[in-house]
Chains A and B, each alone.
Chain A
């Protein structure tokens, strides 16, 4: 598995570097969507870690260490991708510190993501050197602060992406629900897909606790997919019902405009309905189907972010005086290579984290033995 990821990395690196994976025009493009996707993965993984340790979803406990590690790596990669969006990323960090603007979502996003990453780094250090003790107060404090920072950062990402669509399609509580649901979905999906990749790489079967965790994650994913489908259908139906709704132009671009194939085929069919079908038919012992649903859901989340970026660029705000959208909808090869490169790094980091955190892992609990079948 690591060889495959290394090959992907070696192939995508020159394409990304020489092709110039960066936002080139006046508006944001695919690199911004890739950044938002990786930030979502980081926030969702932090949520998953917090849910299984602090908020009662104890069956997800086998995902705890993996979720913490993936949240940290995905957060770092999101900052790396942010460098493709911002012309001077180092100066962004410096000026965010010395001339902060608390009215800017971007500033809060950077600060809260940094706070989350700091806490996760300390948590990883503690987990890697805890000698099996996973109940220290420090771990709870770092996890709690990281989860709260992730929640705030996720809300600011929602405001940043949804707020840039003008006139807005998503706003207020609906945008909050949309982003929270898709972030939790992404976190659980990444944990399941990562677990499946590790299991396949190591060539071993899932333990009983891991199977239970996958099933529980499947239930959470199913619930989040239903919430996503519900809020999306409700919002779009409301826009179609009331043409005076400010989001009408953006919805038209999405439903019947140049984005219709990507929306209906990619975001709805592949990213929403297909994982729903997979999860509804995944019974006990079909963990691969849950992982497949997770992969499809992650693709849907990526497309959802990209659609928001495109809507922010192309929604006509000056009526007939703005040219219709249609150009630059397809990302360049270098931009896609940047995303693939980040995914390859995430895939390479996954077994490293499993090995590093396994040093401090607790001995298996009763019932964590090999599968009974």
Chain B
């Protein structure tokens, strides 16, 4: 009987119930969309408003690609990657049309989803070069960046249990005095053209060209652009 009385005494009036419901809903509303709020508050970087977040750009001419795989092998060798791993993927059309290939390295997005989803800030934007890089000591191998990349350009290396992605050969070549990434250097068909934005701005190199980016609906502002049917004078 004593417990029954206590339960009745605990019973809430309508006003109390509504007040507590409102309190709970307020807390939930604050907590539930926290990533959205956080993205608004912390997610935008000072360089986020620039046309190109990276200080380099890469133009790709997919029509020239023959799928030979030389760039893949060169990437593997230059970056000391395990066998069968590469930082650039050559996708082949799988429908019934004429065979064609699409080279897809990391697009070096201005609004990079891999940076947004990384729980440990292992994916980050280098302040000097503007490139999206991976801090390998912080990477815990959760694969969130691999799943979040709209271009499927991130890889997971089982040998190292870490994520891996293209950095335009920053560590392996550019910082050692080389001028171009390994894939650009090695391609026999000249599928790639690499540029430094400060020396030859992308808008000046291709003033009237119809450049394309992959998946523009995602709003990632990539530094890798695609040009179909390239004119001969740009070779």
Contacts and interface: CB of A to CB of B under 8 A. Distances in A.
Interface of A: 23-28, 54-56, 85-89, 91-92, 95-96, 99-108, 110, 112, 135, 144, 148-149, 151-152, 155-156, 159-160, 163-164, 166, 176, 246, 312-313, 317-318, 320-324, 362-363, 365-366
Given A102-B38, A322-B152, A26 B146 contact: yes
20 contacts: A24-B158, A27-B143, A88-B161, A89-B140, A92-B140, A95-B121, A96-B119, A102-B34, A104-B117, A106-B142, A108-B35, A144-B24, A151-B28, A163-B148, A312-B147, A313-B147, A320-B93, A321-B94, A322-B91, A363-B3
A101 B151 CA distance: 22
8 closest Cβ pairs, A-B complex: A87-B141, A95-B120, A87-B161, A102-B38, A321-B91, A107-B119, A152-B31, A106-B119
A54 B25 CA distance: 13
B193 to A, nearest CB: 21
A307 to B, nearest CB: 15
Contacts of B117: 103-106
Overall SS of chain B's interface: mixed
A91 B33 CA distance: 26
Nearest to B92: A321
A152 B140 contact: no
Most chain A CB inside 10 Å of its own CB: which residue of B20, B35, B42, B102: B35
Given A318-B151, A318-B152, A99 B121 contact: yes
B94 A323 contact: yes
Given A108-B34, A366-B4, A95 B138 contact: yes
Interface string B113-154: 001111111100000000000000010111110111011101
B102 A148 contact: no
A176 B94 CA distance: 35
B91 A318 contact: yes
A89 B142 CA distance: 8
A99 B105 CA distance: 28
A317 B150 contact: yes
A84 to B, nearest CB: 12
B155 interface: yes
Given A318-B102, A362-B3, A101 B120 contact: yes
Contacts of A317: 150-152, 215
Contacts of A363: 3
Interface in B134-193: 138, 140-144, 146-148, 150-152, 154-156, 158, 161-162
A58 B17 CA distance: 14
A103 B142 contact: no
Given A87-B162, A95-B120, A320-B93, A103 B39 contact: yes
Given A24-B158, A135-B6, A366-B4, A166 B119 contact: no
A160 B143 CA distance: 12
A205 B151 CA distance: 58
A56 B152 contact: no
Interface in B1-59: 1, 3-4, 6-7, 10, 12, 17, 20-21, 24, 27-28, 31-35, 38-39, 41-43
Contacts of A92: 119-120, 140, 142
Contact of A156 (B35, B43, B162): B35
Given A102-B42, A163-B148, 15 more contacts: A26-B146, A27-B146, A88-B141, A95-B120, A99-B120, A102-B38, A106-B118, A106-B142, A108-B35, A148-B24, A155-B33, A312-B147, A317-B215, A320-B93, A321-B104
A86 B145 CA distance: 12
Most chain A CB inside 10 Å of its own CB: which residue of B20, B32, B41, B97: B32
A86 B28 CA distance: 28
